[in-house]
Structure 1
Amino acid sequence: MHPTDIVVCDHTWLRGCQPPCDRIFVEYCPMTMFSGFPYLWRLSLTALTASTLTLTSWVSLTAMDVCGTAALARSTREFGRDGRHGRDGRAGRNGRDGADQTVRATGQPLNLNLSGTDGEDGGFGENAEWLRCRRQPRDERHDLNAADGGNGGHGGNGGRGGNGGTLTVQYTDPSHLRQVLAMAGGGRGGRGGRGGDGTYGCECDDERWTVKVCENGTCREEEYECNDGRDGADGRNGADGTAGNIGKLVLINQLEPLPQANPEQSHSVSSLANKTVTLSRNLWETRRGSTNLLAPGSVIADEYQAYKGFIDRQFTLDWQASQDLQAFTETIDLTLRPNGQVDIDFPEEYWLLGETVEQETLTTYRVDGIVPVADVTELAMGRVDGRSRTFEVNVVDLAQRSDVLDTRFEVRYSTSGNDGRRRRYDVEFDGPVPDDLVQQDHNRFTLALGRLPIASQLLSGGTRAQVELKIIRSYGSNVAEQTLTWKGQI
């Protein structure tokens, strides 16, 4: 026997042994149960009697306890402890934004600091813990994986630089602006922290080895391998923080406070009708060249806002619709634009019919009619009757809005034969229904489709037909469509 080979017994064979058995061999198995005897070289038993059978069973169980893993499936085990990962670095704090300031330029020197502060640097990632690699176990009957190295911690991101503040300068003499030194630069972004170092994984002493396995007098060699541990990855460097935005300049060519502006208002329909409200706004113009206006050395955005004046506009809602005004509790949004136009944002749930009237400083919107959008497409297919030239289709307006809405119809008429397979429809007509073929009786429409240019035999009794109606409804500039379909036998 080679000194580096191990011969083990096979448990499966022992469990499968039924009396009478000739012999059971246990070779070179560690016998921890017999103190003083490190190895049992050969145990030979003959199963001849009942007492011998009992002994045989005992030997089988003992052999299983002694030989341990002889019949286990091939597996992989790790030896050693994986390296501990390093902790991530702390993110740097963002810089503070510069404070907004409002000053008056009177000709006296002004030195103003509205700069943002720098962002803090991110912290370094922690290095992974170094491994203490254990010695590789010898002559194992399974594959081995050495311990992996630890990953380095990621570096913390740098903090964002603070934004420069907004400087508002009121003045009457443009030359006085040259006495204003404004420092409104953005803060620098903090530097990202360095990532921590990863550690190397442990290495195997023996990459391959064999174990000799004997069963019922027959021996074979099993080959096993050891895989080196994975090297830990270095931590990622943190991202640098972004620089803060440069501050902005606002110029107002007057020393008096600006008038209070109210360019946007919301009112309920009922409260706004036949009542006048006032909207107002301050006007601004975007210009360039701010550093040419202020003291040399100023740090501020080149583009600035210049005050242009103040406008106001009155608005009223003239309710001429037949519907009860108090039934509408929804809100109307009003916006005064810089050009003096008043935008009216009526709730989307309604269609309006009306007109805007402009008079000097007053804008009037006259409401001539109003229809809920949900009522526009509440049409349903009614009775389908007749044949040949008397074939007609009825459509009913369930919301009863047809007296105020314009309604047009388009139809696709198709017929189908029965060939014993899946039914297929052939289009016989596809187009608008002329007005003279549509009869309206309040909220009921009768469409004389039999008078369309369709061959009479395609409208005869017993014909399987499909009618697809596209209904176009409009109210002023508002338009919506609805489709109804009927299938059946004429």
Structure 2
Amino acid sequence: MTVFSGFPLGFPYFVRLSLSALTVSTLTLTSWVSIAAIDICGSTALASRQFGQDGRDGRDGRTGRDGRDGTSQTIWVTGDPVHLDLSGTDGEDGGYGEDGEWVRCRRQPRDERQDLQAADGGDGGDGGNGGRGGHGGNLTVHYTNPSELRQVLVTADGGRGGRGGRGGDGTDGCDCADERWTVEVCKDGTCQLKEYECDDGDDGADGRNGRDGDVGSLGQLVLINQVDPLPQESPRQSHSVASLANLTVNLSRNLWDTRSGAKTLLAPGSTIANTYQVYTGHIERQFALDWQAPQPSQSFTEAVDLELQPDGQVSIDFPESYWLLGETLEQETLTTYRVDGIVPVEEVTQLAVGRVDGRSRTFEFNVVDLAQRSDVLETRFEVRYSTSGDDGRRRRYDLEFEGPVPENLVQQDHNRFTLALGRLPIRSQLLSGGTRAQVELTIIRSFGSNVAEQTLTWEGEI
């Protein structure tokens, strides 16, 4: 054994053994500290370490393609037998999910100074969903003699849905050869036996089986009791407000009735949906906009949607960004909507607190309409009047009055309202100078059947 000079008295013997390959010249103060902390039995336990390689998850199966829809056809019956196949094709089956990859387990390390975790097995891939069956095609029949429909044999089945693919199998995880073992661990010269564990790897989950595709729907029958093609229709149109003011719009609609028992009208053995559509006629209607509002119509460029309903009425859908005041007038085949007034919704509630002045019975509260729409809008006021005493803590208001402001206490000067709140049934002491007050004003504005509210709040000293 080689003994170096210069070691402190009482230097640990096991450390002196570990220095046999070093020279004194290489040692520093830092070296002395780190060497003294060496644990010859190994470091303390770390987090679990995995051994082996996890199995790769299997890929999902491909989704089956949808079947093709049957071709819709229009025919004119003449009494000769007709056989049509308008069926949709079947959906494609979904692909199988791939099995998970087998795990590479490898040999479990021995005498490890940390817990071990064996590798997990791979999950199986999900099976692909089956494709939807194609829908049966629709059949439109022009005829003049209902009995000739019995010469039409049609097959308009929906295709079958594809089958869902099977999910792949998951693979087994690795097993531990030794579930527990004991190793001597030393620290600061003290050694003890420490037990470690190994956890088996998780088995991979089996993939989900794919969903079967839906069956395609049966085709539908449409009957038109005339040889001529149907007239063109235009039941829905959109126009700007500006263009409607100088335009008469022509609307038209073909009318239909829904009935049951389609298969009883056609040749025996026909397969088609039981409900069918029957053409019952054609209607036309004109629409005009009579602009009587004070604002020029050219300043309103938003679209108005018109639709001719089956009962012959014209529905008018103005933009929601406006309030309208008007009336619908019906005259033979002409529907006219007269616009007496129009207000942008965003300008209805642009009110602000104006001057607050006076005391006791002369206390007044002013409201200003910044959008200047008060000459055409009806305006009502409701008020909550509260007072507060200063108690040195958080301010609290006590409600003294709540209710509508009578019309005789409201004076309007174009777009300014003066509310004589001092004349409300409130004790004059609660309105005296120096009183700390809170006024919460709810303003109700209306234009025809349209109503909106705005709340203004003021706090201050009277």
2:176 is equivalent to residue 204 of structure 1: yes
* Gap change, CA 1:436 and 1:95, over 3 Å in 2: same
1:59-458 to 2 correspondences below 5 Å: 70-131=42-103, 133-213=105-185, 219-458=191-430
Give the distance between the partners of 1:305 and 1:257, measured in 2 at CA: 16
Contact 1:24 1:44 in 2 (8 A): no
Q: Once the two structures are superposed, what CA deviation does each residue of 1:366-409 show, in whole Å capped at 9, x if it has no partner?
A: 12222222222222211111111111112222222222221111
Give aligned pairs, total: 452
**Counterpart Cα distance in 2 of 1:149 and 1:487:** 71
CA RMSD of aligned residues (A): 2.9
Question: Which structure is larger by alpha-carbon Rg, 1 or 2?
Answer: 1
Identity percentage of aligned residues: 75
Cα pair distance change 1:401/1:135, threshold 3 Å = closer
Shift of the 476–71 alpha-carbon distance from structure 1 to 2, 3 Å rule, reads: closer
- Structure 1 residues 64, 345: closer, same or farther in 2, change over 3 A? same
CA distance in 1, matches of 2:287, 2:226: 29
1:19 equivalent in alignment to 2:8: yes
Taking the aligned partners of 2:422 and 2:357, their CA distance within structure 1 comes to 10
Q: Say whether the 8 Å CA contact 2:44–2:113 is kept in structure 1.
A: no
Distance 2:375 2:310 in 1: 40
Q: CA deviation at 1:105?
A: 2.1
TM-superposed deviation, 1:43 = 5.7
SS at match of 1:283: strand
Deviation at 1:132, TM superposition (A): 5.2
Residue by residue over 1:203-258, the C-alpha shift from the partner in whole angstroms, topping out at 9 and shown as x without a partner, is 22222222234678764322222222222222221111111122112111111111
Whether the aligned pair in 2 keeps the contact of 1:189 and 1:243 (CA below 8 Å) is: yes
Contact 1:19 1:53 survives alignment (8 Å) = no
Is 1:487 aligned to 2:455, yes or no? Answer: no
My pick for the range that moved more, 377-386 or 129-138, is 129-138
| Cα distance change on mapping 1:77 and 1:108 into 2, 3 Å | same
* TM-aligned CA deviation for residue 50 of structure 1: 6.0
Instruction: Find out whether 1:471 has 2:460 as its counterpart.
Output: no
Cα separation, 2, equivalents of 1:87 and 1:326: 62
Distance 2:26 2:336 in 1: 117
Aligned to 2:337, the other structure's residue is in SS state strand
More off after superposition, 73-82 vs 460-469: 73-82
In 2, distance between residues paired with 1:344 and 1:329? 16
Shift of 1:259: 0.6
